[in-house]
Structure 1
Amino acid sequence: MPIQKIEMISFRNHQKKVVTFSPGINLLWGENGSGKTSVLEAVYILSNGKSFKTNRLIETVNREKKEAVVSGVFGGKTTTFYQPTNGQKKIKINNVVKKTKDLIGQNPTVLVSPEEEKITKGPHTERRKYFNRLFSTVSKTYLNNLIKYTNAIKNRNHLLKQNKQPTEIKIWDAPVAKYGALLWLEKKHLQQSFNREVLLVCEKYNNDININISTTTPKKPTENDLLEKLELNIQKDVFLRRTLVGPHTDKYTVSFKDKPLREYGSQGEHKLSFVLLKVAEHGFIKKETNKNPTLLLDDLFAKLDNSRGNAIFDLIRKSGQTIITNTDLVGVEAHGINPNNPNNKTIHLLRNWKN
């Protein structure tokens, strides 16, 4: 569902700012420090319950204030995020308190930002977090099993760190095996669907490009197999004080032309792969949920060449709603987007601390 309006109070450098959006292309421009990325961050938080800029949401509160508030209207429903400096975040939808999981998948977004480039450049943990977030967006079953599995692993690891006896630790083996196997089964299906979308994207933009995503997820995962592995590894787990088997240890490898991208990819190959993966992400969410995600493009135009640009601009044309940040309108026009088009909306932010 497109976002129609967002209000930010004491959020980053925005003391109080209201921005309204069109259902098409929105051009958010202004010099560095004007708070453009903060607007994208606010939209992202209302979609995902977390920030792409920081793991500590308390950092979003203006330094002079005690609480940040972000409120957005999606198709008539109002989602509000509260973050005090001395407490936990609070989320409400139409003034009813909700959990973070209630936001996920409701109003999906696809973020194309330098912060997301760690999908190809970063360690396995970054890709694991990315796919957990993506699969949770399209599947409530995956999200619920992930929450239960994460809780079981957290409790098992807590006992391991306390040097508890194996008989006490094994109490958590059954829930770890149950929800771990369910996660693996769902992940296998979703991974195959995403890989098909990646293949379609590569074939469309360049037949010479082959991007493949492989994972250590078992081909035929079962609850009994995982339970057996947990029992076999108990002494290692006790020694290292953490659980060594299960979906939380899955590794993802992105390959470009059959070579592991992280180890052998050039800067250009990383950037091209990242953009094409994001195009695939948009198509994947749309097919799995029948929802057209809002596309968030952060300061992208200065870094685009023709090959990446063609993919992104085709995605913009397909996306129901796009919010683009840039330092000026000239860079946007240079890539074929007309700010004067009545279907596009231009929003100018000025650099000051009272925006």
Structure 2
Amino acid sequence: MPLARITLQDFRNHAHSELVETAHFNLLVGANGAGKTNVLEAISLLAPGRGLRRAQLTELARRERPGEPPSPFAIGASLVEQGQVSARLGTYTRPEQPGRRLVRINGAEASAAALSEWHAVSWLTPAMDGLFTDSAGARRRFVDRMALAIEPAHARAVSQLEGALRERNRLLEDNREPRWLDAIEAQLAEAGARVAETRALLVKLLGEELSALPPEPFARPILTYCAGGPTGPEELAATLARERARDRAAGRALTGPHRDELEVVMMRPDGSPGQLAAACSTGEQKAMLIAITLAHGILAASGRPSVLLLDEVAAHLDPVRRAELFRRLAAGRAQVWMTGTELAPFSEIASEAAVWRVANGALEPL
């Protein structure tokens, strides 16, 4: 059980909540709006990034009354390996800097990116049902989050890439001397090459895991990594230098890893490529998302502790798919957290799960 003794302080509608005696399966049951997803969101913030809702920090802090300034929030958890606490992870804000997120690992200040060196956290939420019809940027974020499971340093590389892109855009706008652009483009190309390499590797490994899964009862998607330009640092730097005039006119770089795309195609029963995922039914899209999540769960749990957050998944599956999902999750190594409005859909695993009733931001073990 990777995470134990999880605490939420002034987070969303939780004044103070604590989850102890966690298990392989962990179930949060309660009415809509009770605070179930808030617990999952808190756990998702024990990883790099903005969490499963991508909310602003000031939205996360509990308020006694509307209009009042937010309270500082804190989230903590013990990371358990082989029955022993290996680390204490925490993230929090301070009253004087409510928009700045801080991280502590074993009591010492650390970067958010460092969290991925200790464990992998992945999730599937109802908001992700539109992933295949969403923007390419949403799919890049999806890939980058999954990539942390195979390369913890990926978060730093993405941050460096984004920072270099912003700086290059500023230099182009200011019409700075070429030597300034040479330097920032070299940094951009180096970070971009690392990002592209990790994304391509992730998609390859996911494809291998997906090919090992049976096509039923979940769909088997075919994934293709589509690079947004040259992936080697020298080639990318040369392209950026050559396209400065065009990028200055556009106000942004038109070539590079920030233009990458994840192409997803539904596999036909005979194994041949079918429709693009964006053109499939919502049921088929959900089935493909679950298949990708299961495949990623295998990758994430292969090298270090792994946590999988599934928000309102069981209620939207028929009994056959639900039973198969539980079977695969039980066979995996990832700690699983699931939410639902009632316990009935989890009857097959309830006896072996840690269960909490959630109501008005308060938790009651069942």
Superposition TM-score, scaled by structure 2 size: 0.85
Structure-2 change in CA distance of 1:245 and 1:194 (3 Å): same
Match of 2:74 in 1: 69
- Which of 224, 249, 253 does residue 239 from structure 1 map onto? 249
- Which of 346, 354, 363 does residue 345 from structure 1 map onto? 354
Is 2:194 the counterpart of 1:182? yes
User: 1 CA distance for matches of 2:140 and 2:282?
Assistant: 22
Cα deviation for residue 127 of structure 1 reads 1.0
Structure-2 change in CA distance of 1:303 and 1:245 (3 Å): same
Unaligned 5+ residue runs, structure 2? 65-69, 268-272
Cα deviation for residue 220 of structure 1 reads 7.7
User: 2 CA distance for matches of 1:260 and 1:85?
Assistant: 51
Structure-2 change in CA distance of 1:313 and 1:90 (3 Å): same
Match of 1:325 in 2: 339
Cα deviation for residue 105 of structure 1 reads 4.1
User: 2 CA distance for matches of 1:156 and 1:145?
Assistant: 16
Unaligned 5+ residue runs, structure 1? none
User: 2 CA distance for matches of 1:263 and 1:301?
Assistant: 23
Match of 1:19 in 2: 19
Structure-2 change in CA distance of 1:293 and 1:155 (3 Å): same
Structure-2 change in CA distance of 1:46 and 1:255 (3 Å): same
1:319 maps to amino acid: G
Question: Which structure is higher in helix share?
Answer: 1
Cα deviation for residue 325 of structure 1 reads 1.2
Match of 2:132 in 1: 120
Cα deviation for residue 210 of structure 1 reads 4.5
1:72 maps to amino acid: A
Secondary structure of the residue that 1:328 maps to in structure 2? coil
Is 2:307 the counterpart of 1:297? no
Match of 1:279 in 2: 294
Does structure 2 conserve the Cα–Cα contact (< 8 Å) formed by 1:253 and 1:260?
Answer: no
Cα deviation for residue 4 of structure 1 reads 0.8
2:227 maps to amino acid: T
Aligned residues: 346
* Post-superposition CA distance 1:5-34 (Å, at most 9, x none): 111111111111111142321221111222
Does structure 1 conserve the Cα–Cα contact (< 8 Å) formed by 2:230 and 2:236?
Answer: no
Quote the RMSD (CA, aligned, Å). 2.6
Does structure 2 conserve the Cα–Cα contact (< 8 Å) formed by 1:15 and 1:354?
Answer: no
Is 2:139 the counterpart of 1:130? no
Secondary structure of the residue that 1:15 maps to in structure 2? strand
Q: How many percent of aligned residue pairs carry the same amino acid?
A: 22
User: 1 CA distance for matches of 2:275 and 2:260?
Assistant: 16
Structure-2 change in CA distance of 1:49 and 1:150 (3 Å): closer
Q: Post-superposition, which runs of at least 4 consecutive aligned residues in structure 1 deviate over 6 A?
A: none
User: 1 CA distance for matches of 2:307 and 2:225?
Assistant: 28
* Post-superposition CA distance 1:49-104 (Å, at most 9, x none): 53211331221101234211111111222212112465211111122111011102
Structure-2 change in CA distance of 1:319 and 1:84 (3 Å): farther
* Post-superposition CA distance 1:95-133 (Å, at most 9, x none): 211101110242212212113334323111111111112
1:347 maps to amino acid: W
Question: Which structure is higher in strand share?
Answer: 2
Does structure 2 conserve the Cα–Cα contact (< 8 Å) formed by 1:14 and 1:354?
Answer: no
> Which is bigger in relative contact order (C-alpha 8 A, separation at least 6)?
1
The aligned runs of 1:77-96 (5 Å cut-off) are 77-84=87-94, 86-87=96-97, 88-96=100-108
Superposition TM-score, scaled by structure 1 size: 0.88
